[in-house]
Structure 1
């Protein structure tokens, strides 16, 4: 079986450690790898003396990995002396002494790696960890717990913070990698490796710069098509709608974006849960009125999660088992002290409702209830439930051990209602974006095939005239060649008529992601739609066009109750035709 290009880095069978200080790597190696590990210690500020023969390897045999941590002053000489050993991969860890010429070091590493046919991670990388294999190829003193989530970051400090948090809450990783300066091994290469890694079920990315958009999107789509990918990108775009365009690109790639660092923690926790929802509708169960009200602030038409409408039969079943003043609609609220039997009965009734895609169980401390027994019951129910059950145990002193019990049982337990709702939103958004990722373009019909030759002639004439804008006549010609429907409307249409509501399909070219289509308000209301989610990347098919319309604020707040089926179909078809035009 062929090995991935980065297998020598993340699955090494032999190792050379070159450092001027003790590194954590030597303390956690497996016996098999330890037998093929050569440790070369050197004085600070002095180039290492490398042996002619390496432990466990035949003469001339290439080691898989070299782990290097030396001062910037001796790094060039260290790499020169490392060349005869010809390692397949190198990880350059940061040194306590600052590098006076970081750009020169970057160029040196890139040239050396190319000359020696070597994959190089760094310089100034956090390194990597593979907990299941006992590999701590970093300067982090503690090897993370083994898990099924991979963490990939473009920041050493963010990586260190997440690793420290994960240790406290018993969260494990399959792989943890910080890229450093990306001299050779960059984001797309590592993402490609993780997509095929059998130890990784889901991937979390922290990004600061996506680099070349085409390579990034291609690798991201490939990874997201087989595993959930969550993205936290730092830095808001200064350009018009830059964030909305990046969101649209991630949606089409099937990945999920989170906005804040605290949401990254929720995503890491919930991705360890094997259940995935088949929609956005969530039911809430609580032992008080306060927790669900806090969660409801993150639930609604403009959010990733919708409040489920419980069926009448479900409400009757709940009313029969709850006390008279309990709430049996969504949220389901009981004020009687919970017991394991009651929480199971309530959950069974709600999970059986076909209008529910998942459940949030939001519990506050209750001195009259046996909360540890309730938590143990949830730890039995949630991992086996047919729909996701996300729990929140509010508080710390008495509730933290209960959250840890649920975490260790393989289900997600959160500290606040907001973080629990946000975690379910990650799962729901992943399901939605996967539907977009799976869309393909239909074959072109025999009729109504666009006249591409004539359209390109129109554009060529405009360019020949050194013009950047088309005349009204040229625009109409182009639209007609792609069969985009046009109808002139009188200016004095009555305000009460549906046609009087201005709508707009706008097209622009983003410098990173290319053509972008936006659907939203026209006329004076257009300025209000700049941050709207009604944005997508062409080409579109009917399903994608429909989703674009329904995501827009104009549709949700104005058009949905006013436009009939035929008008919506016509609008959808117009978007598809415009997308064909801009794609060509």
Structure 2
């Protein structure tokens, strides 16, 4: 449903409140009171079996008795009555209901289930149940149980907790922070995070979005909406590490190291990071983020200048800045000389700039001006400690006055303020000037880093990954056959031989393995290796023993057949003694790899009940859980994301060269992670995969030991695409070859993130006139951000198909389709190389695009074409598009095409 009819939730023309009682302290009366106090301009009604007259409110016994149709109906009645009232609201023509009622049950036949069913049948949007309600200050709407009505602003708050919503509203009242909307989701039977992210991403009154998350139910829908919203405005999220309403862990036994390391909160963290959201760890931080985002916009850089009249506070600010990964700015020589001339002898002459305790307000403000002009910093933290020698109020007035009078050409840098001493007048001056101010230097530095991290997340969303090597070839069919054979045999864990073959199918180097049923066979298999001077490793072979070291089931560096025979016998005896319940199939024999300067890593695939497959990377070895140096990422991955995943671990530091140890081949490590992500995409039945250790040195990588768990798995996502990926993977099934009218062929495939260079070269073959016809304006410069928007796609909502010359690899043309949040309509765009017009390429790309729209389930394709672009209009007419003059611009033609039923991909 997404944004469908949500305008009636936040900008209703009229509101009806259905309450079970009309007593003064009832929920219904409280909501009516909030609506009246907020000054809601539309009609208001109270629906109650025993209506009591209220000034300015229509009072009736039933919704059907209303003389007008309510846009929004607020329901606060016993649970059993809610579905019937919601049905009556839908029949009356209401667009949405907000259900404040709690304890509506779960499962078939419950009031909650009945409400959800009728909402879908009647197209009724449902907020809640068990929600606080909705507040939209710009619409003077307070249809909630919140104790206060916040001022209008540009922050949207979406919370699963009504208490958090109410608390943030209360917090905002003492500050100049306002909201575009405050909404609590409650049980979210219908309207969820994704719907509201889509709505506020395009809401012109909302500049930043704040989320309080306990649990996500539809991970793909959430990720798609979150990524789209984060590209347009800051999205800040806070989530408890142990939320009460989180989805419980799966009951299946956790076998692999990677599965144990993929803890739920770490997976949520990886999801938020991948979506470009800024995660904070507490409500205090969320408040600080709201303070910062409500008043400042993102800025380039992370160098902070600190100004204080108290040296101790300045030192604490530096400590906090370093702890959070920020950079202490330097002072330029010119600024130091300028400050020497205006400040008393004894000032610090470095950053933090300590002005001493007797500094007056004017020199404090002049110092700020000098620091803002210094090119060596990106932002300023101003700390004021109250003393008997200086006035906090006068200092605040001097600073805000100076900032207001700065010339327009002066550098526009953010200023963060800490005015210690709780001087309400000084704080009021700062608030009036929209300067974010904080109760402590720690909060202020955190606010600075919030903006830094948000800007870096935005930049990461636009980065172009390096190209995959040409030899990145996988044998999906071979891997599929291995997994199918295991499933048909009723196996959940692949045996070591199958594991070795499956990894080989994806080009992941392994230490070759052979299985032996007894000690004598182990000795025979080891003989050729020993003859070549290769030491041998022997390990227990049992699908029932998760960790070989638990039963002392590993022997390394064996150099004779007798040693192998004895080791195998000892391993089998110990394993059977330690685990008499386990099936022991023998031992595995493989060469002991002598790579003395290799690093032990772990890489693998884990399975999360909400987000599906997760890629895990970190420091390996037998103590991997104790060391706990790991990072997680949601697939699919490209090389940029893989390198970023590696960089988030401590072990990444020793992948670099140090002392006499050469640097490891980090690109080979990253390539393994990309291949694992591709394996998870190609074969959804792989539930867990564990490579531990993965040895890495300057010569590359090799998997020494690996385990793979397979199974049918629970489908997490309906419709198209991978059944378990939270992020829609590269739609490989849309690759195809086409024949052009001149007899040549072209290869058509979806756009990839690494296609930056391909597009740049393509644009050199397009005339200025054709670019103007496509983009409705002259395009002279193709910035990185411009091309990133063409290549960085969320395949769940957008598709761009490029046609490539199979011989030269050159790009010949492209078509794109972007679906709206409701998956009802899609907007298209197309561009073909200017020297290839008339070859039928545009026609074929349009036909494939239409087919994709059918596959995606859209109802309508639409676009705008310049009236002078007769070639495009003629092609649209031939394809069956309806063509009409744009109502707002006589230079444009609107084209639209109804889409038929979905064909098979």
- Corresponding residue to 1:431 among 455, 461, 486: 455
Conserved in 1, the CA contact under 8 Å of 2:467 and 2:639?
Answer: no
Deviations 1:228-283 (A, max 9, x none): 11111124388743222211110110001111121111111111123313243333
Mapped pair 1:49 → 2:50: no
Structure in which a larger fraction of residues adopt strand: 2
User: Matched residues in 1 for 2:325 and 2:231: separation?
Assistant: 20
Q: Which residue of 2 aligns with 1:417?
A: 441
Conserved in 1, the CA contact under 8 Å of 2:217 and 2:610?
Answer: no
Q: Which moved more, 1:261-270 or 1:21-30?
A: 21-30
Q: Which residue of 2 aligns with 1:392?
A: 418
Deviations 1:161-220 (A, max 9, x none): 111111122321000001122232222222221122111111111111111222221221
Q: Which residue of 1 aligns with 2:14?
A: 14
Q: Which residue of 1 aligns with 2:153?
A: 147
1:369 Cα offset (Å): 2.0
Deviations 1:431-485 (A, max 9, x none): 2222333346666665433333333334334444444444555445444444445
User: Matched residues in 2 for 1:77 and 1:4: separation?
Assistant: 22
Deviations 1:144-174 (A, max 9, x none): 1001001111111121111111112232100
Conserved in 2, the CA contact under 8 Å of 1:286 and 1:361?
Answer: yes
Q: Which residue of 2 aligns with 1:26?
A: 36
User: Matched residues in 1 for 2:166 and 2:218: separation?
Assistant: 26
Mapped pair 1:452 → 2:476: yes
1:108 Cα offset (Å): 3.4
- Corresponding residue to 1:516 among 576, 589, 614: 614
User: Matched residues in 2 for 1:226 and 1:512: separation?
Assistant: 26
Q: Which residue of 2 aligns with 1:258?
A: 280
**CA 1:470–1:245 in 2, change beyond 3 Å: closer, same or farther?**
same
Q: Which residue of 2 aligns with 1:161?
A: 167
1:190-339 equivalences under 5 Å are 190-236=196-242, 240=261, 241-300=263-322, 303-310=324-331, 322-339=343-360
Q: Which residue of 2 aligns with 1:376?
A: 397
User: Matched residues in 2 for 1:99 and 1:253: separation?
Assistant: 33
Conserved in 2, the CA contact under 8 Å of 1:109 and 1:123?
Answer: no
Conserved in 2, the CA contact under 8 Å of 1:252 and 1:436?
Answer: no
User: Matched residues in 1 for 2:384 and 2:657: separation?
Assistant: 36
Q: Which residue of 1 aligns with 2:383?
A: 362
Conserved in 1, the CA contact under 8 Å of 2:3 and 2:199?
Answer: no
User: Matched residues in 2 for 1:199 and 1:572: separation?
Assistant: 42
Q: Which moved more, 1:250-259 or 1:311-320?
A: 311-320
Mapped pair 1:85 → 2:92: yes
Deviations 1:111-131 (A, max 9, x none): 342343211212232111111
User: Matched residues in 2 for 1:524 and 1:476: separation?
Assistant: 20
1:524 Cα offset (Å): 5.4
Runs of 5+ in structure 1 lacking a partner? none
**CA 1:447–1:382 in 2, change beyond 3 Å: closer, same or farther?**
farther
RMSD: 3.6
Mapped pair 1:406 → 2:430: yes
What number of residue pairs does the alignment pair up?
A: 563
Q: Which residue of 2 aligns with 1:530?
A: 628
Conserved in 2, the CA contact under 8 Å of 1:251 and 1:436?
Answer: no
1:97-176 equivalences under 5 Å are 104-176=110-182
Conserved in 1, the CA contact under 8 Å of 2:416 and 2:436?
Answer: yes
* Rg (Cα) greater in structure: 2
Q: Which moved more, 1:474-483 or 1:159-168?
A: 474-483
Conserved in 1, the CA contact under 8 Å of 2:241 and 2:265?
Answer: no
Deviations 1:55-106 (A, max 9, x none): 5x5xxxx432223333456545544654541211112234xxx868687332
3-state DSSP of counterpart to 2:152: strand
User: Matched residues in 2 for 1:76 and 1:51: separation?
Assistant: 13
User: Matched residues in 1 for 2:481 and 2:343: separation?
Assistant: 73
User: Matched residues in 1 for 2:286 and 2:381: separation?
Assistant: 19
**CA 1:170–1:349 in 2, change beyond 3 Å: closer, same or farther?**
closer
User: Matched residues in 2 for 1:191 and 1:391: separation?
Assistant: 31
3-state DSSP of counterpart to 2:597: helix
1:221 Cα offset (Å): 1.4
Conserved in 2, the CA contact under 8 Å of 1:436 and 1:544?
Answer: no
Q: Which moved more, 1:140-149 or 1:105-114?
A: 105-114
**TM-score, normalisation: structure 1:** 0.84
Q: Which moved more, 1:375-384 or 1:445-454?
A: 375-384
User: Matched residues in 2 for 1:415 and 1:581: separation?
Assistant: 50
Deviations 1:16-64 (A, max 9, x none): 3333443211333454x24xx444454389x962375645x5xxxx432
**CA 1:320–1:485 in 2, change beyond 3 Å: closer, same or farther?**
farther
